[in-house]
């Protein structure tokens, strides 16, 4: 058991340090955090004024994506992505339920980690934002005109979709990598036969530049390591993608010990351009698969789910020169590429130093075939040959590195609970600031692109303990905003977050806000159950299904009296919001509904199913205070016994 001792010793030290950080001297964040006296002014956004940046924070185990303004830290919206959202009916309405379909059936929750904004020429362009579903592997695309999830594609042959969703610099591909290796294809086999038999898939999803539509171009089937994080090459390294791995030991149990044995794991360097060319020339093997592709139709505002039945796989050995391993100490987590595309940083969780690889040296080593062995036939480059530099002992437990526009890098340290600023190229540590507490990712607007906007750094912290008023055993997680325009980082603000914000992405507000949709045009609404005029409104029985074609406008429903519904019916309320003004949604709720309310924005039609269980006269009402007569916005459904012969009828203001 000697192998376990070093690790346990390390973790004991680590635990001790976390304890220290939570001690008295760090309680307030003042003094040590260098809280500037005018910090309040610098985050203050006056009433009616707008923030300078949109920040999109992953929701972690909430499965959503939340939108914040920076520098105020004001939460603007929770965008539902992978989880049902009773606030507006996402995942509950008939139109949105198909978005959450998977090969495992309806999966109304996920764990979302890494949002990434679309780019053109390596610069944020504000068209779309992508995010991964980690648990049931999926990638979602959110349109930043509508601020709505418009597409979700499931990833077959993947498990723990974690090294995702990162995009190439012209949004050619969204990339998704498996964290857990699994049998590919899945099969019933002993777990202890993992080694050599389980595989990891790295999936390249192409993106249509007009519509944003995603499709899996190919899956690279890699050795059975854990593929933890990834980043695209950019500028000079455009065409490559880099993935950190851990568990190159291929352990299948007690990974905290057994996957911490190797002195170095790898960063996998993937020349995707080469593989793309191979695939375009007919390379790769189409294999059976079963995965959902869910798309929101822009005219009917209704999602469809299609099950796809095959996927193109590529064996890396079939594309010589496309895949290499870069030895990287020691169980690296983050895999970050600087804005020039030259430096690839592996954040070795258990390593004392930060290792930086050089892209130029990597190409040189490849050209001169300077290999240091191979793993499953994939060449391993020599560590020394590709080393650009080392940041010496910057902190404990490095997780992620982000970049500003002045050649500086900012690495987060989970264990020593700090952010360390260092100089790219000289590897010299320039500044360190404590965070409260245990930071995961950091984020600089555009920090994962060729053009960062280096004004703010946001620390995305896991633990808050004493930072806010206590709320019982379950506390919020938290973000901290630093001003990074000077030599030293200055802490300005704490603000709580929704769920666990792993990564985040931010963009200047000007790049999005003028394009933001205000209404859906009624004239473009092609929903089959839309009711625009009085003569469109009706109630139709099809066996036990009752379809109500209803509309709403300040401040009534049409119809608002409905009779002839029976116990045992399934009632579909198809409701069209006739408003064509900005910010006039109406809500809909009916007593005893087993799902949610729905919030219908101007010009849309949405559908909620209600299954009345009891005889009576049951009210429905608008849930959003929409006008002075909002409280009058209500109606009744008469529900008769199952064997009743009362005919369907509907009316508005008629006796
Ligand atoms: Cu480090 Cu999922 Cu990117 Cu969390 S991951 S922190
Ligand atoms: Cu419509 Cu309240």
Residue-level pLDDT at 24: 37
Q: Which atom of ligand 2 is nearest to the CA of 625?
A: 2
Residue 562 CA to ligand 1 centre (angstroms)? 52
Residue 419 CA to ligand 1 centre (angstroms)? 15
* pLDDT, mean of residues 166-188: 98
Q: Which atom of ligand 2 is nearest to the CA of 627?
A: 2
For ligand 2, say whether the CB of 556 is within 6 Å of any of its atoms. no
* pLDDT, mean of residues 571-580: 98
In words, the CATH class of domain 1-79+392-517 is mainly beta
Q: Which CATH number fits domain 522-651: 1.20.140.10, 3.40.1410.10, 1.10.10.10, 2.60.40.420?
A: 2.60.40.420
Tens-digit pLDDT profile for residues 474-490: 999 999 999 999 999 99
CA angle 244, 332, 383 (to 5 degrees): 80
Residue-level pLDDT at 386: 98
Does 85-234+244-330+382-387 match 522-651 in CATH topology? no
Q: Which atom of ligand 1 is nearest to the CA of 502?
A: 4
Which ligand has an atom closest to residue 552 CA? 2
Residue-level pLDDT at 20: 40
DSSP state at residue 199: B
Q: What percent of the chain has pLDDT over 70?
A: 95
Tens-digit pLDDT profile for residues 491-532: 999 999 999 999 999 999 999 999 999 999 999 999 999 999
Which ligand has an atom closest to residue 631 CA? 2
For ligand 1, say whether the CB of 162 is within 6 Å of any of its atoms. yes
Residue 4 has pLDDT above 50, yes or no: no
Kindly indicate the confidence band of residue 37, based on its pLDDT and cuts at 50, 70 and 90.
confident
Residue-level pLDDT at 595: 95
Residue 26 has pLDDT above 70, yes or no: no
Q: For residues 460 and 467, give the distance between their C-alpha atoms in angstroms, rounded to a whole number.
A: 14
Tens-digit pLDDT profile for residues 235-264: 999 999 999 999 999 999 999 999 999 999
* pLDDT, mean of residues 68-77: 98
Domain regions of the chain by residue span = 1-79+392-517, 85-234+244-330+382-387, 522-651
Q: For residues 573 and 352, give the distance between their C-alpha atoms in angstroms, rounded to a whole number.
A: 61
Residue 2 neighbours by CB under 8 Å, 6+ apart: none
Residue 464 has pLDDT above 70, yes or no: yes
Q: For residues 140 and 70, give the distance between their C-alpha atoms in angstroms, rounded to a whole number.
A: 24
Q: If you take atom 6 of ligand 1, which residue's CA is the nearest one?
A: 440
For ligand 1, say whether the CB of 333 is within 6 Å of any of its atoms. yes
The residue with greater pLDDT, 29 or 118, is 118
- The first and second tokens of residue 301, run together, are 């505002």
Closest to 176 in 3D by CA, of 148, 144, 207, 143: 207
Q: In whole numbers, what is the pLDDT of the chain averaged over residues?
A: 94
For ligand 2, say whether the CB of 599 is within 6 Å of any of its atoms. no
Q: Which atom of ligand 1 is nearest to the CA of 113?
A: 2
Q: For residues 217 and 203, give the distance between their C-alpha atoms in angstroms, rounded to a whole number.
A: 8
- The first and second tokens of residue 615, run together, are 């005889």
* pLDDT, mean of residues 310-320: 98
Kindly indicate the confidence band of residue 655, based on its pLDDT and cuts at 50, 70 and 90.
confident
Which fold, 85-234+244-330+382-387?
Methylamine Dehydrogenase; Chain H (2.130.10)
Residue 621 CA to ligand 2 centre (angstroms)? 8
Kindly indicate the confidence band of residue 12, based on its pLDDT and cuts at 50, 70 and 90.
very low
- The first and second tokens of residue 196, run together, are 């050599």
Q: What percent of the chain has pLDDT over 90?
A: 94
For ligand 1, say whether the CB of 440 is within 6 Å of any of its atoms. yes
Q: If you take atom 2 of ligand 1, which residue's CA is the nearest one?
A: 113
Cα Rg of the chain, angstroms: 27
Residue 599 has pLDDT above 50, yes or no: yes
DSSP state at residue 508: E
Residue 33 has pLDDT above 60, yes or no: no
For ligand 2, say whether the CB of 629 is within 6 Å of any of its atoms. no
Q: Is the pTM of this model over 0.85?
A: yes
The residue with greater pLDDT, 565 or 3, is 565
Q: If you take atom 1 of ligand 2, which residue's CA is the nearest one?
A: 586
Residue-level pLDDT at 619: 98
Residue 28 CA to ligand 1 centre (angstroms)? 26
- Mutate which of 63, 243, 399 for ligand 1? The one with the most ligand atoms within 8 Å of its CB, which is 399
Q: For residues 344 and 347, give the distance between their C-alpha atoms in angstroms, rounded to a whole number.
A: 10
Q: For residues 205 and 293, give the distance between their C-alpha atoms in angstroms, rounded to a whole number.
A: 12
For ligand 1, say whether the CB of 357 is within 6 Å of any of its atoms. no
Residue 331 CA to ligand 1 centre (angstroms)? 14
- Mutate which of 419, 502, 505 for ligand 1? The one with the most ligand atoms within 8 Å of its CB, which is 502
Residue 361 has pLDDT above 80, yes or no: yes
Per the rule left: phi > 0, alpha: psi between -120 and 50, beta: everything else, 73 is left
User: In this structure, what are the phi and psi dihedrals at residue 585, rounded to the nearest 5 degrees?
Assistant: -75, 160
Run of H or E including 2: helix 2-21
Tens-digit pLDDT profile for residues 382-434: 999 999 999 999 999 999 999 999 999 999 999 999 999 999 999 999 999 99
Residue-level pLDDT at 34: 54
Q: If you take atom 5 of ligand 1, which residue's CA is the nearest one?
A: 502
Residue 583 CA to ligand 2 centre (angstroms)? 12
């Amino acid at each position: 058991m000697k192998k376990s001792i070093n690790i346990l010793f390390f973790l004991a030290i680590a635990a001790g340090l976390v304890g220290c950080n939570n001690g008295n001297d760090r309680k307030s964040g003042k003094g040590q955090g260098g809280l500037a006296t005018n910090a309040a002014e610098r985050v203050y956004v006056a009433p009616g004024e707008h923030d300078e940046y949109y920040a999109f924070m992953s929701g972690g185990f909430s499965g959503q994506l939340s939108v914040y303004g920076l520098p105020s830290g004001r939460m603007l919206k929770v965008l539902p992505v992978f989880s049902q959202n009773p606030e507006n009916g996402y995942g509950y309405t008939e139109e949105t339920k198909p978005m959450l379909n998977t090969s495992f059936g309806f999966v109304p929750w996920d764990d979302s980690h890494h949002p990434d904004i679309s780019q053109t020429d390596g610069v944020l362009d504000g068209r779309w934002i992508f995010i991964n579903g980690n648990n049931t592997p999926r990638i979602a695309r959110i349109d930043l005109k509508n601020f709505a999830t418009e597409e979700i594609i499931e990833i077959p042959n993947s498990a723990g979709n974690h090294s995702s969703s990162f995009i190439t610099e012209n949004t050619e591909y969204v990339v998704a990598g498996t964290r857990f290796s699994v049998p590919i294809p899945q099969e019933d086999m002993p777990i202890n036969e993992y080694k050599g038999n389980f595989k990891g898939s790295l999936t390249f999803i192409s993106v249509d530049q007009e519509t944003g539509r995603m499709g899996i171009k190919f899956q690279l089937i890699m050795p059975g390591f854990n593929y933890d994080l990834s980043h695209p090459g950019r500028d000079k390294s455009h065409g490559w993608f880099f993935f950190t791995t851990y568990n190159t030991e291929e352990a299948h149990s007690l990974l905290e010990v057994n996957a911490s044995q190797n002195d170095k794991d790898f960063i996998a360097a993937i020349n995707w351009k080469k593989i793309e060319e191979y695939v375009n020339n007919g390379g790769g093997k189409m294999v059976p698969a079963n995965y959902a592709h869910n798309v929101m139709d822009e005219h009917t505002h209704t999602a469809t789910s299609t099950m796809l039945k095959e996927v193109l796989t590529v064996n890396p050995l079939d594309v010589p020169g496309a895949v290499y391993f870069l030895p990287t100490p020691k169980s690296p987590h983050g895999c970050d590429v600087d804005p020039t595309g030259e430096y690839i940083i592996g954040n070795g969780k258990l390593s004392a130093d930060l290792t930086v690889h050089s892209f130029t040296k990597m190409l040189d080593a490849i050209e001169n075939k300077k290999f240091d062995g191979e793993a499953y036939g994939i060449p391993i480059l020599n560590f020394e040959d590709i080393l650009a530099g080392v940041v010496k002992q910057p902190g404990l437990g490095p997780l992620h590195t982000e970049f500003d526009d002045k050649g500086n890098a900012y690495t987060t340290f989970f264990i020593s609970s700090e952010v360390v600023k260092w100089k790219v190229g000289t590897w010299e540590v320039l500044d360190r600031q404590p965070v409260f507490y245990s930071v995961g990712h950091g984020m600089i607007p555009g920090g994962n692109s060729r053009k960062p906007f280096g004004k703010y750094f946001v620390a995305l912290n896991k633990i808050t303990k004493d930072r806010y008023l206590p709320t019982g055993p379950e506390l919020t997680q938290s973000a901290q905003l630093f001003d990074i325009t000077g030599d030293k980082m200055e802490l300005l603000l704490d603000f709580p977050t929704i769920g666990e914000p792993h990564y985040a992405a931010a963009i200047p507000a000007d790049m999005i806000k003028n394009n933001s949709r205000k209404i859906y045009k009624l004239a473009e609404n092609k929903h089959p159950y839309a009711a625009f005029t009085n003569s469109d409104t009706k109630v139709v029985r099809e066996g036990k299904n009752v379809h109500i074609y209803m509309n709403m406008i300040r401040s009534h429903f049409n119809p608002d009296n409905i009779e002839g519904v029976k116990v045992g019916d399934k009632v579909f309320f198809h409701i069209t919001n006739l408003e064509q003004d900005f910010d006039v949604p109406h809500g809909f709720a009916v007593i005893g509904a087993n799902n949610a309310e729905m919030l219908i924005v101007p010009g849309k039609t949405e559908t909620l199913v209600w299954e009345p269980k009891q005889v009576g006269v049951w009210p429905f009402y608008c849930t959003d205070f929409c006008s002075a007569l909002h409280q009058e916005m209500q109606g009744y459904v008469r529900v008769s016994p199952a064997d009743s012969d009362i005919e369907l009828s509907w009316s508005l203001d008629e006796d």
